[in-house]
Amino acid sequence: MSVAVKNQNETPTRSPVAQDTVLVLDFGSQYSQLIARRVREAKVYCELVPGSIDVEEIRRRNPRGLIFSGGPASVYDDRAPHPDPRVYALGIPILGICYGMQLLAHDLGGDVAPASRREYGHAALTVDSPAGLFTKLPRELDVWMSHADVITRPPEGFQSIAHSINSPCAAFAGPGGRFGIQFHPEVAHTPLGRDILRNFLFEVCGCAGTWEPQSFIDMAVADVRARVGRGKVICALSGGVDSAVAATLVHQAIGDQLTCVFVDNGLLRRQEADRVIEVMSRQRHITLRRVDASDRFLAALAGVTDPEEKRRRIGATFIRVFEEIARELGDIDFLAQGTLYPDVIESTSHDTTNAQTIKTHHNVGGLPPDLRFTLIEPLRYLFKDEVRQVGLALGLPEDMVWRQPFPGPGLAIRILGEVTRERLDTLRAADWIVIDEIKRSGLYRSVWQSFAILTPLSSVGVMGDGRTYANVVAVRIVQSDDGMTADWARVPYDVLAAMSSRIVNEVPGVNRVVYDISSKPPSTIEWE
């Protein structure tokens, strides 16, 4: 038997569309996701869809407004992406951002031409006509631009409503609530960008701004009930917020038809497994199977030092253990997973050709592609911060909801060299102190991750009257928005001093602590 999804192409969990939806048509900008986030921050439900989306699909979703993202192309390129031309006849307000504005200009009969020089960075925008997009905003705005083409003539019926030194038409407005802006309101470098987007959503599209965690929960619970019927669902808990929130939602919908499985791989941090059992089983009364598989994982890792090989073996062992449990449980129809919107967007994004495998993250806990379960992914339309809000609204405890990211292969990729029970104990003790001290300092939530690494080095030390020759532990604390890039955190020396002193005093076999001051890139967050 093999454990996997029944049909990856099957219609996914219905998008939890409430009253107001705005669609962001993605034309390849690196900021497209950010636009969707900004819209949701304004409490308007928003989805990112391909720029080529069929107009019938747009009609079916009945959006209040459309946003055309920026993108790297020039509208005159042969292969430049364009929206379905029928989109302009829908009568739905449109905001075109950068390339999106140029699309509006070009497709509706205006002129776009290469700028005399590329405009990149901060620019001073002067608003000439505030109605609509610039309502209640200052006449002079600091905005962030990045474009090589400019609008030389707006389409018939459109008017320039703002200019900058290099762009005589830096924003335009046309009939039917159609607007274009040459700058990027979604980035932090445009300080009043959120207000401009809010004006589009509320003044132009007439959205109500009622998108709340509870509206999502109600829709998701109803949806899971409708899909599952009397079926049985299995869900693997990892200890992380995503699977915990997904399981809690599914449990709210179908109660004991859900069985959660927690595979203790022996690679977790101190008290982590117990906390999952405490919260999910004792507090939430979710049917939960805990499987202690640490011996099997350690056996699979014996003698392995290569990081990718560690990941492969952990992934393969996980699948085998999970399969066995599923077989014991008998007739299971659905597999619930805590897949988030960024993963969905990433896996459907058009440009994955250049993506290189730096580390095979997504293989761990991943499932082979032959068929057995139908997937339930109640969080597939949420961003991480929204998952946290939903978790809190569902009553999950703060420490679980705000847990820092923790890699699927766990401590195995933080022990350089072979993973043994003894080395795991050493790392676990050191890691506990790092977390304890960062929590004590009040920085736990403001840093992305904070943890210890057990290096393969021994160094000379002195303790009492004696010489020691013992392990070197590294401490890694990073700031990041999404884990893709990161910088080492400038935490106060006092915090580092407390960590270091406690680690060498409390953890047997460690006599030296070093702080990792590398950024990503060129380093990565994990050491393996």
Active-site positions?
98, 184, 186
Instruction: Give residues 301-330 in contact with ligand XMP (rule: CB under 6 A).
Output: 311
364 part of the interface to ligand XMP, by CB under 6 A: yes
- Determine which residue in the list 6, 153, 296, 361 makes contact with ligand XMP, applying CB under 6 A: 361
Q: Does 290 bind ligand XMP (CB under 6 A)?
A: no
Report 161-180 residues binding ligand XMP (CB under 6 A): none
The only residue of 190, 409, 431, 455 in contact with ligand XMP, by rule CB under 6 A: 409
Q: Which stretch binds ligand XMP (CB under 6 A): 76-84, 180-188, 354-362, 439-447?
A: 354-362
Q: Which residue has the tokens 């949420």?
A: 382
Which CB sits closer to ligand XMP, 102 or 243?
A: 243
8 A C-beta contact, residue 527 and residue 476:
yes
Query: Closest by alpha carbon to 420, among 299, 512, 339?
Result: 299
Q: Pick the closer one to ligand XMP by CB: 50 or 483.
A: 483
Least distance to ligand XMP, CB of residue 312, Å: 10
Encoded tokens for 84:
């379905």
Give the total residue count for the chain: 528
Q: What's at 206, amino acid-wise? A: G
Tell me the closest approach of the beta carbon of residue 478 to ligand XMP, in angstroms: 8
Give me the least distance between CB of 264 and ligand XMP, in Å please: 17
Q: How many CB atoms lie within 10 A of CB 524?
A: 13
CB of 372 to ligand XMP, least distance (A): 23
CB of 526 to ligand XMP, least distance (A): 3
DSSP secondary structure of 7-74? -TTSPPS-----S-EEEEEESS-TTHHHHHHHHHHTT-EEEEEETT--HHHHHHH--SEEEE---SS-
Q: Strands across the sheet with 288-292, in order?
A: 288-292, 258-264, 233-237, 334-336, 374-376
Judged by beta carbon, residue 213 or residue 483, the one nearer ligand XMP is: 483
Work out whether 359 is an interface residue with ligand XMP (CB under 6 A): yes
d(CA 377, CA 227): 11
C-alpha closest to that of 209 among 43, 64, 386: 43
Nearer to ligand XMP, 231 or 483 (CB): 483
- Helices 421-440 & 493-506, crossing angle to 10 degrees? 150
Distance CA 151, CA 115 (A): 9
Q: Is the peptide bond before 521 cis (omega within 30 degrees of 0)?
A: yes
Q: What's the closest the beta carbon of residue 244 comes to ligand XMP, in angstroms?
A: 15
Looking at the Cβ atoms of 181 and 452, the one nearer to ligand XMP is 452
Q: Specify the residue, 108 or 525, whose C-beta has the smaller distance to ligand XMP.
A: 525
Residue 236: C-alpha distances to residues 160, 320, 338, 410 (Å):
55, 13, 9, 15
Q: Binding segment for ligand XMP among 96-104, 140-148, 190-198, 401-409 (CB under 6 A)?
A: 401-409
Would you say 228 or 477 has its CB closer to ligand XMP?
Answer: 477
Which tokens is 42 given?
Answer: 């304004």
Query: Is residue 476 a contact point for ligand XMP (CB under 6 A)?
Result: no
- Residue from 163, 194, 296, 520 touching ligand XMP (CB under 6 A): that is 520
> Residue 438 CA to chain centroid, in angstroms?
23
Reference 308, options 374, 250, 360, 261; nearest CA is 360
Distant-in-sequence contacts of 296-303, Cβ < 8 A, 24+ apart:
296/320, 296/321, 297/265, 297/266, 297/267, 297/412, 298/266, 298/419, 298/420, 298/421, 301/412, 301/418, 301/419, 302/418, 303/418
Q: Is 342 in the site for ligand XMP (CB under 6 A)?
A: no
Q: Select the residue interacting with ligand XMP from 483, 498, 509, 515 (CB under 6 A).
A: 483
Number of residues in contact with ligand XMP under rule CB under 6 A: 15
Residue 359 Cβ, how far from ligand XMP at the closest point, in Å?
5
| Residue 452 binds ligand XMP, judged by CB under 6 A | no
- CA 107 to CA 154: how far, in whole Å? 11
Q: By CB under 6 A, tell whether 232 contacts ligand XMP.
A: no
Of 160-168, 265-273, 372-380, 402-410: span binding ligand XMP (CB under 6 A)? 402-410
Among 50, 342, 405, 461, binds ligand XMP (CB under 6 A): 405
**C-beta of 303: minimal distance to ligand XMP in Å?**
20
Cα separation, 298 vs 419, in Å, equals 7
Task: Decide whether 405 or 509 has the Cβ nearer to ligand XMP.
Answer: 405
Q: What residues line the site for ligand XMP (CB under 6 A)?
A: 311, 358-359, 361, 364, 405, 407-409, 449, 483, 520, 524-526
